[in-house]
A and B are shown apart, each in its own frame.
Chain A
Amino acid sequence: MTLIGSPAKNAQLTAIEQSGWGAPFKLVQPHNAAFWVWLIGVGIGSVGIVKFFGAGFGTYRLAVTSGIVFFGIYLIPWLIFLRHQNRYTAQPGGLLATGFAWGFCAAAFWIALPANTAMLEIWTKLLGPAGASTWGAGLTAPINEEWGKGLGLILLIGLAPRLVRSSYDGFIIGAFIGLGFQVSEDILYAYNNATATFGVGQVESSLYILALRGFVGITSHALFSAIFCAGLMWILGRAPGERHVGRGLAACLAAMFLHFAWDDAAGLFGWNDFLLFAAPYLLLMPLAIAVLLVVRRLASRTERAWMRELLAPEVEAGVVDNDLLAAVSGLHRDRKHFRKLVHNRRRADLLIESAGDLAQEIAAAAGTETPRVAHARQELLRLRGAAP
């Protein structure tokens, strides 16, 4: 099957070039300053972690180890969920792990810890202890933490300029950086909570933090950073037609506002006991999820268009039909519609996954015909019942 030269093939090659899909990721790049800055940040952050927990490890080792175990387990459903969200762009695992490590070590312990400590003291001096207790966290964390995490995305642009192109790339990478930060902070909270009781009931204390932070973690750092980093990518406009400075600023500010409102809920809603208890869950959480869904939808447009262009020659060749194309490059409602058409949810999901495999293999082969592309195509045809 030779498709080179057709408009669909040309569009496919353009989509591969613009998206960077299939480009490999390599962290160790000694000639790249971004690698050294990443190494410095993660290195100093790691030393900070050892110093922070090491100082009281003799007394609080149960809190630290149970915090690591509990939040390590907590990480698993998050990774499964985010892997599912990584469906269009399919960023390499190494790149996402690099972002996670930045969030866990550098953003949390190299940047946020000293910056927050100093800034909270400034607010205490300016607003008094009571004012700082009410407003200090919300006026501090959205600045230091959102920027600390966002810097990880900028470094990844320097490390993998071909791979980090669209706002959806920013969305996914931001979520992983934020998740790293979140888990790091959760372990810190488990430790701090144990120190508040001078080491009494450490495992119970970690379980309490797991229950508390695990639930509110749904709308925490992973979400804030996904929104913030999508906004950064809109401001930078690294894919054709993706520069939307106003939208980008709005997304960054929305992430910072959500972070502020969550941290300062006591100040915002303290005038009413019911609101103080309910507003974070009944108002702020739904608001955060609504903002996330809007940003995700807007951010996925370019990736979805690339997916359509990538598979267009396969549509012409009859390997992928229009309904499957709509599902694999579409939104939740498109996939739902496709499941209805196929009358079998499992078979529909397998077809969508198989079409995604074909797109990934085509991108990895830079649009050329390879045994892996041929195999992915054959697998899809087999599932469709059209294999010879």
Chain B
Amino acid sequence: MSTDLPGWVPVEHRWLGLDRRRLKPALFVLVVALLLIYGWPAVNAVVPWDNPIKAGDVLDLGGGATAVPPVGWQLEDGTLVSDNTGVSPARETVKLAKAGAVINMTGAAFDGTAAQFLDQVLQSQDANADISGAPGTFTTTSGLAGVVRTASGPAGDELLAAFKMSVTSPASAPALLVEVSTAPNSFQQYSGEIEALLRSITPGSGA
């Protein structure tokens, strides 16, 4: 005869202080949860990226704006003009990666100049980030004037470029942030491709 006292576990049902009769649901939950939490990242780790930029590919930045990405980099996020899908210039994100170097492009709604936008970005990021380089002006082939800052440190090299995506009325146009980060002392080897990408940024027609 066993006891019915609440909280009392009969000795034959004890295991490491736990009630053996109640183990099943807990184990099931633990196994399924761990599978979801660690199983997908494990699968993700073995599936390689295979989406390289090919010659002639053009990035769709929304609202007719475009950029020409460097050939051979992996397109991990973003839309190509050839995809023919709707893109919002204030929401579009692009990620290009190549051997430890990453280029992120982020569209945002922002009223103000490119310099003000870059200040807002820096304010919203880590206040202690070592963005030491003085701001410089960068003009794209299409005539967009952006603001560029660079940083360099033991964690790697970084470049931030901000644009307002209109030549005629930049204050109210969507903003574009380009963030480039590379391993320490390796920025130089990508600088040509990065400069070409920045120069290729073109606003939509009429903008």
Contacts and interface: CB of A to CB of B under 8 A. Distances in A.
Interface string A135-161: 000000000100110010011011001
A64 to B, nearest CB: 13
A52 interface: no
B36 A147 contact: yes
Contacts of A125: 44, 47-51
Contacts of B117: 198
A119 B41 CA distance: 7
Contacts of A106: 33
A200 interface: yes
Interface string B17-28: 111001111111
A59 B124 CA distance: 5
Dominant secondary structure of chain A at its interface with chain B? helix
B4 interface: no
A75 interface: no
A200 B25 CA distance: 46
Contacts of B110: 197-198, 200
B1 interface: no
A218 interface: no
Contact of B40 (A32, A56, A122, A133): A122
Interface string A98-115: 000000001000110011
Contacts of A31: 7, 9, 14, 17-19, 22
Of the candidates B19, B78, B79, the one having the most CB atoms from chain A within 10 angstroms of its own CB is B19
A179 B151 CA distance: 44
A111 B37 contact: yes
Contacts of A197: 108-110
Of the candidates B40, B50, B51, B110, the one having the most CB atoms from chain A within 10 angstroms of its own CB is B40
A155 B29 contact: yes
Contacts of A118: 40-41, 43-44
Contacts of B78: 129
Contact of B22 (A34, A151, A270): A34
B79 A130 contact: yes
A199 B36 contact: no
Nearest to B17: A31
A30 interface: yes
B6 to A, nearest CB: 8
A126 B47 contact: yes
B91 A196 contact: yes
B55 interface: no
B29 A37 contact: yes
B171 to A, nearest CB: 14
B79 A121 contact: no
Given A111-B37, A125-B51, A134-B85, A198 B120 contact: yes
B76 interface: yes
A155 B91 CA distance: 39
B26 A158 contact: yes
Nearest to A140: B40
B195 interface: no
A2 interface: no
A230 to B, nearest CB: 18
A372 B9 CA distance: 31
A163 B45 CA distance: 42
A130 B83 contact: yes
A37 B44 contact: no
B32 interface: yes
A361 B205 CA distance: 73
A28 to B, nearest CB: 10
Given A129-B75, A130-B85, A151-B29, 4 more contacts: A31-B19, A122-B44, A148-B33, A158-B24
Interface of A: 29-34, 36-37, 40-41, 56, 58-60, 106, 110-111, 114-115, 118-119, 121-122, 124-126, 128-130, 133-134, 144, 147-148, 151, 154-155, 157-158, 161, 195-200, 270
In the A-B complex, the 10 residue pairs with the smallest Cβ-Cβ separation, listed nearest first, are: A158-B25, A33-B26, A118-B40, A130-B83, A118-B41, A199-B124, A198-B124, A115-B36, A34-B26, A118-B44
